[in-house]
Chain A
Amino acid sequence: MAERAPRAERSPRAERGRAGRSSRSPAGSGSMDGLLATKEIAIACGPGGVGKTTTAAAAAVMAAVRHGSKVLVLTIDPAKRLANALGLDGLGNTEHRVPDEAFRAAGIKPRGQLWAAMLDTKESWDALIRRHAPDRQTREEILANPLYQNISGRFVQSHDYIAMERLYEIHSDSDYDLIVVDTPPTRNALDFLDAPQRMGDFFSSRLLRWLIVPYRSRLVNVATKPFYTIADRILGTEFLGDISEFFILFQSMYDGFVERSESVGRLLSDRRTTFMVVSTLEAVPLREAEFFAEQLNARSLHLGAIVLNKVLPTYLRGSEGTEVAEALKDRSDELAATLSPTLAAVDPTLGDADQIARVLNEVADSYLNFQVVALREMEEQAMLSVVPDVLATVPFFDTDLYDLAGLYRLGEQIWD
């Protein structure tokens, strides 16, 4: 791995010059190198199970190694070995630096620094409450409230917001040149984009004000009475009371929350932020990724890159291979008979012509099988309707890449 040292040094100024050109270059021909040299935040998003976390980590490793910058990768739910590789084992929310020795052990010499952190939803929510609570008592009461514990700990929708909130916090409080963010698996890939807006709407909602009206005055108010009648019948008065109590506690923090969620929303659409949509070339995830890319455009968010993972090798697409495979099948007996002495010379037990013929048939069938999939992938790629500045494909790696050397190997594929 020692030969995988960074390329010739370039000054940061030169990096930015390159990037400036790449953003004006024809669609799809820009580089990740250029993209990440000009952005402060890169958000990896897309359907589940396509390698978002690994891609985010690989991009961060590359930026730290090749650019002389301080890079943070904020992951959501990394595989154990990835967490290990980033030194995140057993660590929660705290950011911490991947030691240079770890890079050296992988045969890489970083010019910059790589930092890593994992999102702990519960802890992040608690930190948010601590920041906004007006006094100690309110704070403790909220943290102990069963509804709060439910919302913050169990219900996944709250992950969407807190991930973006945490990003905002880190971005405004620290001095990273680049933060690469992995996004939580959402039911709908758009959930986390809408989360800040939804959170803001929620806390400025008129209905919320209805809910926190003291119970007795509710039923005399003509406007709100129907709402309470239904809500009471469905949820029961006691539960409604619990909800009210919770929101009365929250009341003191509304302004802070609304303002904060607006800032978070602004950060996502800021020109320093870019999105990397990650997918594979399988039809269903790709369609979802495409929809997501279209939505980014519709919201004027910056679609910086599409990264296509686990793409089968291009040699499977060629027609020459098809001809060879067909020849192996059609002429398997003849070829086996001819090859028999050659193989018997290697090892006398391998000279059985029937066995060789079977192997040739299996090899050929396997090629033709995988070719069907490879051609399907090629077709899918050609049909891709959204073309971003950077379109990167990552070949299928036959092993899982969860160490720094592996991430670097993967990163090299998407970099230039």
Chain B
Amino acid sequence: MSDLLDLKLVFVTGKGGTGKTTVASALALFASSRGKRVLICEVDAKGDVAGFYEASPTSFHEKEILPGLFAMTMDTEASLREYLKLQLRIPVVGRIGPLAKAFDFVATAAPGVREILTVGKLCYEVRERNYDLVVVDAPASGHIVGQLAAPQAINNLVKVGLIRSQTDWMLEILSDPRTTGLVAVCTPEEMPVNETIELAGRIRAETTVQLSAVVVNRVLPELFGRQEEQVFDALSAEGPTERLDELVQADAGPVLDAARLAVTMRRTRSTHLVRLRQGIDESVPMLYLPYLFTRSHGLRTTRQVAASLGEELGY
């Protein structure tokens, strides 16, 4: 199941709050630890990625934050500037003021321009083979389809012109399942599962990108084996609990309540997991990452997630 690391461009999306950035950061870290030259690009520009590596803030100009691991933040205006300079050799690049204004306007008026500049920059890095793998901390699942469908939409709307001529090679990169893939991050809860199933359908219907994997994040451990749970149930009954209170000379109630909560949470979540597996095409692998009982986020946590991800990928 190592296919994910053989791709050149991986978009990581998911409903807000499911750990999309964590997974993207961990995937990039794991790939770089396998000796790949990796670029992680944050599209939402919230500046979270730097935090997951405990690095200083990232910008449009990629920088190496760990050996073999480069990070950047998407900036569509900078992307346009770079594009004009590299691709079109348009001489007006120096006059950034009016250009920025015109860009802002055109981007608002012409749907897809902002998206195409983002996707374009990413595809460009792939085409130029600057990296073995580009990992994208992509927009949340509500926005990703618009982004991935942008080259096609532009193709339909714009018949000629330089943008049009650029979309063909982008589409080629995006449509090749050996080059590009989408990873959907999900937690075993009602809404994230619904949204992931819906996303899988829309990706199939509206884009040419393939869904390469679903990462199920924050899976709770199974606390008890079957008979152990019976023991726990018996222990939680009034008599045995009182006995336990006497033995430890304190109120054992909260500790037993916490275990009860863990069992119930795990049970509620597993029904959502079943629903998720049924709602997603069988050919799409699911990778399970454990719930982390950690004190804080940071590089240590990212390494932990990367290790789990590596295991799930069969390394």
Q: Do A and B bind each other?
A: yes
Q: A350: which B residues are within 8 A, CB to CB?
A: 227, 230-231, 234
Q: Are B258 and A315 in touch, CB under 8 angstroms?
A: yes
- Interfacial residues of chain A within 360-408, with CB under 8 A of chain B in the complex: 362-364, 366-367, 369-373, 375-376, 396, 398-400, 402
Q: Which residue of B lies closest to A199 (CB)?
A: B108
Q: Are A364 and B17 in touch, CB under 8 angstroms?
A: no
- Given A154-B146, A359-B228, residue A48 in contact with residue B234 (CB < 8 A): no
Q: Are A370 and B261 in touch, CB under 8 angstroms?
A: yes
Q: Are B255 and A235 in touch, CB under 8 angstroms?
A: no
Q: Are B108 and A376 in touch, CB under 8 angstroms?
A: no
- Given A237-B160, A343-B231, A398-B264, residue A283 in contact with residue B297 (CB < 8 A): yes
Q: Are A363 and B264 in touch, CB under 8 angstroms?
A: no
Stretch at the interface among A63-71, A269-277, A296-304, A317-325: A317-325
Q: Are A324 and B157 in touch, CB under 8 angstroms?
A: no
Q: Which residue of A lies closest to B110 (CB)?
A: A243
Q: A321: which B residues are within 8 A, CB to CB?
A: 254-255, 258
- B295 partner, pick from A205, A343, A376, beta carbons under 8 A: A376
Q: B55: which A residues are within 8 A, CB to CB?
A: none
Tell me which of B21, B259, B294, B296 has the highest count of chain A C-beta atoms within 10 A of its own C-beta: B259
What string of 1s and 0s marks CB contacts (under 8 Å) between B200-239 and chain A?
0000000000000000000000011001101110110101
Q: Which secondary structure characterizes the binding site on chain B?
A: helix
User: Separation in Å of the B39 CB from the closest CB of chain A?
Assistant: 21
User: Separation in Å of the B254 CB from the closest CB of chain A?
Assistant: 4
Stretch at the interface among B99-107, B122-130, B176-184: B99-107
Q: List 15 A-B contacts (CB under 8 A).
A: A49-B17, A49-B18, A49-B191, A150-B153, A188-B44, A235-B163, A284-B297, A321-B254, A324-B252, A335-B247, A339-B240, A362-B228, A363-B235, A363-B259, A364-B255
Residues of A within 8 A of B (CB): 47-50, 79-81, 146-147, 150-151, 154-157, 184-185, 187-188, 198, 202, 205, 207-208, 211, 226-227, 229-239, 242-243, 247, 280, 282-285, 288, 313, 315-316, 318, 320-321, 323-325, 327-328, 331, 335, 338-339, 342-343, 346-347, 349-350, 355-356, 358-359, 362-364, 366-367, 369-373, 375-376, 396, 398-400, 402
Residues of B within 8 A of A (CB): 15-18, 21, 44, 46, 48, 88, 90, 92, 95, 98-99, 101-102, 105-106, 108-113, 139-140, 142-143, 146, 149, 153, 157-164, 189-192, 194, 223-224, 227-228, 230-232, 234-235, 237, 239-240, 243-244, 247-248, 250-259, 261-262, 264-265, 268, 293-297
